[in-house]
Amino acid sequence: MNFSLNLPINGVSFGQVSTLILRELYKRELEPSLFPIGQVDLSSQSQDQEFFAWIQKCINKAKTAHSRDNPTLKLWHFNGGLDSFSRRHALLTFYELDQPTLAEVNAAKNVDKLIFTNKYTQDIFSKCGVDSEVVPLAFDKYNFNKKDKKYFDDDRISFILCGKFEHRKNHAKTIKAWAKKYGNDKKYFLQCCVYNPFADEQTNKRWFAESLEGEQYFNIQFLGNMPQNELYNDFLNSADVVLGMSGGEGWGLPEFQAVALGAHAVILNCTAYKEWANDSNSVIVEPSGKKEAYDGVFFKKGDTWNQGKIFDYGEDQFTKACDQVIERVNNDRCNHKGLELAQEFNSEKLADNILKILVDL
């Protein structure tokens, strides 16, 4: 089968998903034509020179063997999603909000196959007359693995907060609420790996300081950018609890990987989190309502793209859930139900779903 891929290959979420798909195709000895979006950056990945050489071979193949009759999968945003190399064009995209714009609906209707990662988003676009398929994402077994390692000398319970620092992800609210309840309590620590690579160093530092409202807590730590997945794997393994309180997600990759490695979790029951988080593997917090997503930086009111609201939560409900998850940790440090996610959502299924769509285009 001749097919082509148009993918970002880098260290952020889209790039990590792209590389996972590529690893599965490489394992199957397939050789698609590959058009990278932006610069190829594999520095975050476990170093596999044969795999890297295969990627370059696929890039070279695209220059000499690609046909516009090839079914082609693009992984990208709606903004730019219509740009294609093929007459048979599938777009796999994340969408986190609830009010598709005219431009987003137009892009959605003008691809041959539209793929979302969760049913919440599919339902949002269905109300706008858009047909789509849902392809769940997968545990990245090539970059993440459970380590039998003690990370701290004491018996602290380690909470972690993940993802690029954004209003959409409710990071500042979550940090403030956690600090109010557990700040300067030596039994609990919060490590925040929330560095946003799309903002400069000083802006990140300002956001971190503002989230603590000028206070200092010895048990809250902000970590810098983690450029390699090997470092990030250690960080995820160090967690007893991961906090997933984002108001809008395409999947919630860091939280998902952490739970699949055995971390307990407090998860807001909304958007893509509902695809994989449930009462057996997480302590679930029900949303209290919605609020505007606009932050003036990544989401700007009145823009052509990314308009709408995100889910919110009550502070008391969040801290109550944290108390409940502490009980789970005290009962068993390992979230055994969480470990099951690695098999339920595996990369072989992800590749199978992608290939089926390409065959049917």
The band of 47, judged by pLDDT with boundaries at 50, 70 and 90, is confident
* b (16+ CB within 10 A) / e for 79-99: eebbebbbebbbbbbbbbbbe
* Mean pLDDT, residues 280-302 taken together: 96
pLDDT in tens, 265-277: 999 999 999 999 9
Position 331 pLDDT exceeds 90 = yes
Residue 224's pLDDT is what?
Answer: 85
The amino acid sitting at 154 is: D
List all residues 6 or more positions away from 68 whose beta carbon is below 8 Å from its beta carbon. Answer: 85, 86, 87
DSSP per residue over 176-199, as a string? HHHHHHHTT-TTEEEEEE---TTS
Residue 46's pLDDT is what?
Answer: 85
- Dist CA 312 CA 292 (whole Å): 10
| Domains, the chain | 4-137+347-360 (3.40.50), 157-344 (3.40.50.2000)
Position 34 pLDDT exceeds 90 = yes
* Mean pLDDT, residues 257-265 taken together: 98
Position 44 pLDDT exceeds 90 = yes
* Cβ 241 vs Cβ 325: under 8 Å: yes
Position 280 pLDDT exceeds 90 = yes
Q: What separation in angstroms does the CA of 145 have from each of 29, 223, 238, 243?
A: 24, 21, 12, 19
The band of 175, judged by pLDDT with boundaries at 50, 70 and 90, is very high
Q: What separation in angstroms does the CA of 207 have from each of 86, 199, 326?
A: 42, 10, 28
* Cβ 191 vs Cβ 159: under 8 Å: yes
Give the residue carrying structure tokens 């958007």. 271
* Mean pLDDT, residues 143-169 taken together: 95
Q: Which two tokens stand for residue 172?
A: 């500042």
Give the dihedral sign, CA 105/95/270/311. Answer: negative
Position 148 pLDDT exceeds 90 = no
> What pTM was estimated for this model as a whole?
0.96
Backbone angles phi, psi at 297, to 5 degrees: -120, -60
Give the dihedral sign, CA 193/198/202/207. Answer: negative
Q: Which two tokens stand for residue 187?
A: 């039994």
Who wins on pLDDT, 148 or 111?
111
Position 27 pLDDT exceeds 90 = yes
What percent of the chain is modeled with pLDDT above 90?
Answer: 95
- Dist CA 230 CA 246 (whole Å): 24
Backbone angles phi, psi at 90, to 5 degrees: -110, 135
Position 255 pLDDT exceeds 90 = yes
Backbone angles phi, psi at 292, to 5 degrees: -65, 145
The band of 145, judged by pLDDT with boundaries at 50, 70 and 90, is very high
pLDDT in tens, 205-234: 999 999 999 899 999 999 988 889 999 999
Residue 301's pLDDT is what?
Answer: 96
